[in-house]
Chains A and B, each alone.
Chain A
Amino acid sequence: MPSFSTKRCVAHGADDVDEFVEQHLCHASKVLFIGTVGIEPTSVYFASKLAGTANVDFRFLIEQRTNTDKVVQELGDRHLQWLRDRLAASTCTFHDVEVIAKDGATVAGRNAASIASSWYDKAYSDIVIDGSGMSRGICFPLLRQAMEIGQTYNANVHVVVASNNHRTIQLQSESNDRADWIHGFQADMGLDAMSDALTLWIPQLSHGSSAQLDVMYRHLSALGVALAEVCPIVPFPSVDPRRGDELLFDYRSALRGDVGDERLNVIYAHEGDPMDVFHSIVRMENIRKEVFAATGKQAVSVLSPSGWRMGSLGMVLAAMALNLPLLYVETIGYTTTSPLPAPIDTPTADRKWHIWVAGSPYAV
């Protein structure tokens, strides 16, 4: 099946997503739903919408990290039980996936793709990747894999994401000390031929991630690429209108020191709209291509998703449409000082998005 492009991308937001799930997915001939058992209740939101339908096979990944707090573990176990209680055992399986190897290497994406490769079947008319609770290093390779397989099996491929404006617990994440290309999204980065490519780095800024920014910057510098510009992407409009400015303030020393010195190179994109991020990057990339085509120089944009999930979704769409590399730093564990929140019987979501990444809408 053909897939979305920079010019055409079918997407639904807010309550339209629920309507799409009810009217399309619940009536599709056979659906493969790939999700994860996450920390936030939103990770089971779409599973709850599809529970009770006989046409869906559920496959859930459980991300295994070495350093996980007891409260976080407890939340994961609670969501696992929630899924077991509500989904038919015959249609639902759970699979552990190692995120970080013992030697510190990031293996999440490769492991997830390897596990998921056995799930696909030509009987599926629709493949749904639920990115609500998945780490980017797992979700994005699965999405790309689903698109490749969807093409072979002529299946529709969807990505859905649900999130809330506020977390149920405050998480402190501990990140790895090495940056990695998201599996399947390395493009040509790392080839000798890319050594002279003029590189634009577009990191998504998020609170408490300055160490990750530093690790990624070191990685790009060590590669020897000609890092010409850094253009962070910040959320605006946002539920908290000051969030973008606060992020720029938090990162002021990094952005004006080692990492960059241009104060005006900032992309503002809607916090709740992945399409805004997607289109902003596409516009910028098209202009860059035009400019550098005239000079005969090779140019590349490196995207670094982090923090707000909807923005990351926009980034991966841009990466797939334009074959751009995605650089990130994996999280090795989560801790929290928050108490265990009260159990939720029916999960809700403030924000929902569905992107129809490949399939019948593009066949015409």
Chain B
Amino acid sequence: MDNPFKKRATEYFDDPAALLSLVSAEPVRAFFSGHHEQLFDRPVTIVGTPGSGKTTLAQLLELDTLVALIQLARNNDNKNLAAELAHFRILEDLVPTVLAYRLPAGSTLRDIWQLPYSQSTRSALLRSFIQARAVLGWLRKLEKVQVKAHMVKVVTREDLETVRGIIKADDIGELRSYARDIEERIFRVVTALAPPGEAELATTGLSTTYQAFDAIEAFVVAEIPNVASSEIRLRPLFILDDAHELHPQQFKDIEQWFRNREMKIARWIVTRVDALGPDDFRAALRDDRQTAGTTPGRDHIYKLMQRDRKNRRAFRTVASDITKRYIEQMPALRRHVNNLESCLDARVPSLSPSDTEKLTQRVAATVAKAALPEQVRLQLERKIPAKLGHDQRQAVMRILVHREMKRTPQTELFAAFNEDEVESAPVEMNYTEGEEETGADKRKSAKSALIAGANIQLLHEFQRPYYFSFETVADASSDNIEQFIGLAGSLVDVIETRLLRNQPLWLDAKVQHQTLVKHASDMVAQWNFPHSEAVRKIVAFIAKRCVAKTMEPNAPLDDGANTFGVPQSEMDRLRKEGGLLIQVLHYAQAYNAFSLVEEYECKKRTWCLFELGGLPIIANGLTLGRGGFCEGHVSELMECLN
């Protein structure tokens, strides 16, 4: 296989074995944990940005992939994955229990909305087409794993014998043939240059729904060659992928339809975050935090593929597993390197002697200007952790002196400094309610944040490397696997080049930083999604404001800002009025340029926050921590578009 870091999406793998070689068990565990029963007995909407792993997960559950996994289960690389799927009962005794079919929404489904018919007719056509495709898809999946038609029986609900007869479920050949007929007749209507009139359509019987989903309960197959020699029962799973490509009314219609409790098949809707309205998105956030079963009456589950960034440690495990698997696929590299972490220097860099000298002079000038009493100055110096490098100490000192000049008491803050805690975990400050930090945690976070703020100031002043270490790469990925692979891939490229040149594979902080910043800047420059130019302008505006805030001499937000906040009321008004900015925000969110945190309470006001994504943060030299935002107004964002 070529460098797998260059493969940008798993859709490009047509061979299940190739896909499996790169699928990590960690995201699978994260996805199913605590929910796995409910995920198959009620409708599920899976939400994430492109590259967050939605389609990979759907592909993993397809029968040919499961069969390939079973056949390769003894391979060390696949053991964990097989064990996870067994744990969640997708495999039982190394036999699949699920028959999944994934239908990408695409233009054909969306085009149904454009037909000149009543909404009920269009809805009937959409539902019939989806069901016909699902039946054909399930049968095709069985065929792919060498299950012959005569070995398949369809189990239908006992109370729907008539529907069983209508869809011709007694004979697989007839079932397929009828589904194919329905599919093709609707397809011809949708793709016709001039579709037939609605009255004419009614005479063909297409305006009534083909009801396979209501009737079908399971598929029973006599055997799956090389996997199961006895009869097995498979639960059908229908996955509507890329559902954001549907018209919003179609999306709602399908969500509503899938809520039918009588439906026995499992049904998932996979969509980008921007297809959900703000209320649904809040419901998704709520669902994601709740343990399954806490609201037994709920008839719908939302699953977020990207969680809050506070859950970074979980993603680091995923990231580590992914890089290990990817490097395994690179024979030349794997002889020298087991994992990416081992090549990335995590030691804190220092400024050059000349820059250190410059900094020292500048800090001395600040101290002199402040004219602090010697005792206060010494007190401040003593409070700075001794383990920090000279340059960091100077930068922190400068901030403290500026704070002192502003007569902001910092004594209490620095009373908590403990020399053993220097350069501890990245800042974890929450926007979201419900997770109260302890007092000690807060002090520790605040301390780390202040040091991070000093480091970022050094980055802008002296280009001192800030983005380095494996953890930083993982944290900057916004929980997005594709984004992580891009960032990690840029470092792997450098390592590979060094390997070819017989140079040390160890990347110091400077090389890592430069590589990551270049990659992030290139990626932002290459954005080419709808309204990307406008998104770039807004991102540049937010970044500029955040840099200015971060560089304020007294670092009022400690590690600075990476977020722009506007009053929630302004955002609500904007939504009501619509317009270009709404569309721009929609795509910015969809492609991880920034995410929206709504209804955030701060300073007795309610805010809507625009939190920059990992790539813009790195490209502009901002903190990866959360918490600091610059206040502003929607009108400022609108001005960016002019």
- Residue numbers of A with Cβ under 8 A of B are 66-67, 100-107, 110, 113-114, 117, 141, 144-145, 148, 172, 174-181, 183-184, 186, 188, 190-193, 195, 211, 214, 217-219, 221-223, 226-227, 257-258, 261, 332, 335
Contact = CB atoms under 8 A, between A and B. Distances in A.
Contacts of B111: 110
Given A214-B8, A258-B9, 16 more contacts: A67-B530, A174-B531, A177-B529, A184-B193, A188-B187, A190-B187, A190-B191, A191-B187, A192-B183, A193-B180, A193-B184, A218-B11, A219-B106, A222-B106, A226-B14, A261-B2
Contacts of A110: 111, 114
Interface in B167-205: 180, 183-184, 187, 191, 193-194
A107 B113 CA distance: 10
A219 B104 CA distance: 9
Interface in B68-122: 104, 106-108, 110-111, 113-114, 116
A177 to B, nearest CB: 5
B9 to A, nearest CB: 7
Contacts of B531: 67, 174, 332
Contact of B245 (A100, A178, A257): A178
B136 interface: yes
Interface string B243-271: 00101100000000000000000000000
Interface of B: 2, 6-9, 11-12, 14, 55, 104, 106-108, 110-111, 113-114, 116, 133, 136-137, 140, 180, 183-184, 187, 191, 193-194, 241-242, 245, 247-248, 526, 528-534, 580, 583, 587
Given A192-B136, A218-B11, A105 B247 contact: yes
Given A104-B530, A175-B528, A191-B183, A223 B6 contact: no
A160 B191 CA distance: 26
Contact of A67 (B113, B241, B242, B534): B534
B530 A148 contact: no
B620 to A, nearest CB: 22
Contacts of B532: 174
Contacts of B108: 186, 190
Contacts of B242: 222
Contact of B533 (A103, A174, A180, A218): A174
Nearest to B11: A221
Q: Is the interface of B mostly helix, strand, loop or mixed?
A: helix
Contacts of A227: 14
A335 B533 contact: yes
B6 A257 contact: yes
Contacts of A103: 247-248
B8, B14, B528, B583: most-surrounded residue (chain A CB, <10 A): B528
A114 B528 CA distance: 30
Contacts of A222: 11, 55, 104, 106, 241-242
A160 B580 CA distance: 35
A211 B140 CA distance: 32
A186 B190 CA distance: 10
Nearest to B251: A103
Contact of A105 (B107, B194, B580): B107
Nearest to A195: B140
7 contacts: A105-B113, A141-B193, A174-B531, A183-B193, A190-B106, A191-B184, A193-B180
A102 B533 CA distance: 18
Nearest to A193: B180
A219 B233 CA distance: 33
Given A67-B531, A174-B531, A178-B245, A258 B12 contact: yes
Contacts of B587: 177
A218 B245 contact: no
A148 B193 contact: yes
Given A141-B193, A191-B184, A192-B137, A221 B114 contact: no
A201 B47 CA distance: 31
A107, A188, A218: most-surrounded residue (chain B CB, <10 A): A218
